[in-house]
Amino acid sequence: MFNALLLEKQDDRTTASVQSIDEARLVEGDVLVRVDYSTLNYKDALAITGKIPVVRTFPMVPGIDFAGIVEESGHVQYKPGDRVVLNGWGAGETHWGGLAQKARVLGDHLIPLPASLTTRQAMALGTAGYTAMLCVQALERHGARPDDGDVLVTGANGGVGSFAIAILARLGYRVVASTGRASEEARLRELGAADVIDRSTLSAPGKPLAKERWAAAVDCVGSHTLANVCASLRYGGAVAACGLAQGMDLPATVAPFILRGVTLLGVDSVYVPRERRLDAWASIADELPAETIEHVASEIALGEAVDVASRLLQGEVKGRVIVDVNR
Ligand code: NDP
C-alpha cells in the first residue's frame, strides 16, 4: 500500500483526498519509482480544483512531475537505486502522476537526475525550472545574446518566472521582471532582476505596435500581456511563450511579426523530445546554485496540497511548492 492524492469525479465535481492505495493498481509502465518529492504546478492546481478539465480519466493521481529512486525496472536504462526525474508526458493528466509515494511509468519518460542535484532540489526546480530553461534555450537558439538589451519576464513571482529571472541573470542578461506583487520587489531583485515593473502596464488591451522596448521576453501569462509583449519587442526580437496565467487568448495583430520581424516561440515542456530535456536539466544543474534553488522553494506535506492548490490559483503562492509525499 502507498499514500496518494486521489482525484475522483462525483456528480461532475472533482473531489481530492489522500488515500491508501494498493500497489497492484499501478499498472502502466516498466519502471516503479519510490517518489521522494513532487511539486504543485499551476496545472496540478487546475487538476486538483477541477477548474479546467486537465484530467482526462478518473480516478487520477495528479502531479505532472516527481523525483525519486527506482525500485523495480524492466527498462534497459534503469536499475533499482537509480535517481530519476519525470516531467510531463501526460503524468497526472492521462496516467497517474507524482503526488504519491509510488509511481509506475515508462522508462522512456524518465531522465537520470544530474549528479549535482538532490531529489528535493530537482522538485524545487520541478517543471517550472525546467520550463524556464527551455524558454531561455529557445531564445538563445533564436540568437538572443546578453548585449542585445533588456529581457522581460512576465509572471515574475511564479515558479517559471522566478527561475527564468535567475537563469537569465546568471547568463548575463539584464532582466526586467513584470509582477502584480510590488511587495515582492526585493525578492525579485535578489533573484537577479535589474528592474521591476507593474504587470498592469501590460495586461490591458494595447495597440498593435508600441515603443520598441525588449530585446527578448519570457512570457508566462498569455492574453493581452503576450500581445503587448509582442507589440513592444524590438526589431527582430523574440518572446518564448509558455503560460496562460492571465488567459489562453491572444488578442494580437500580425503587425509586430510582419513589420518588426518579431518571433513568437512556443514552449511546451510536456512532450518535448528527450534530447532537449537532457540538455535543459544538464544546463540547470550547471547554471543554478543550490542557494537560488532553495530561495525559490517552500515545502508542504501531501495532505496540504489541496488547500495550497486553491491558493495558488488565487495568485497567493510565490515561487515553487515542493510536496514531500512521504509526510
Ligand atoms: P505560478 O502560478 O507559479 O505563476 C504564475 C504567475 O503569473 C503568478 O505568480 C503571477 O505572477 C502571474 N499571474 C497570475 N495571474 C495573473 C493574471 N491574471 N494576470 C497577469 N499575471 C498573472 O505558475 P508557473 O510559474 O508554474 O507557470 C506559469 C504559467 O506557465 C502557467 O500558466 C502554467 O500553466 C504555464 N506552464 C506551462 C508549461 C509548458 O509546458 N508550456 C510548463 C509549466 C508551466 P506575479 O504575482 O508576479 O504577477
| CATH code, domain carrying 56 | 3.90.180.10
- Domain ranges, residue 224: 127-266
Where a domain ends, among 251, 266, 281? 266
How far apart are alpha carbons 111 and 70 in whole angstroms? 11
> Could you say which residues of the chain have pLDDT below 50?
none
Within 6 A (CB) of ligand 1 lie 41-43, 127-128, 131, 155-161, 179-181, 199, 203, 220-221, 225, 242-246, 267-270, 312, 315
Residue 175 grid cell: 532582466
How far apart are alpha carbons 47 and 254 in whole angstroms? 33
The pTM is what? 0.94
* Ligand 1 mutation target, pool 42, 272, 316, most atoms within 8 A of CB: 42
Both 103 and 32 in a single domain?
yes
How far apart are alpha carbons 188 and 90 in whole angstroms? 32
Both 87 and 172 in a single domain?
no
Q: Does 120 fall in a domain?
A: no
Both 55 and 182 in a single domain?
no
How far apart are alpha carbons 144 and 216 in whole angstroms? 7
* pLDDT computed for residue 145 by the predictor: 98
> Pairing mode, if any, of strands 83-87 and 111-112?
antiparallel
- We report the CATH number of the domain holding residue 173 as 3.40.50.720
Number of domains the chain is built from? 2
* pLDDT computed for residue 191 by the predictor: 94
d(CA 42, ligand 1 centre) in Å: 7
Q: Which helix (H) or strand (E) holds 228?
A: helix 223-232
Q: Which residue shows C-alpha cell 535517481?
A: 83
Both 301 and 229 in a single domain?
no
How far apart are alpha carbons 104 and 130 in whole angstroms? 22
Where a domain ends, among 244, 266, 288? 266
d(CA 157, ligand 1 centre) in Å: 8
d(CA 296, ligand 1 centre) in Å: 14
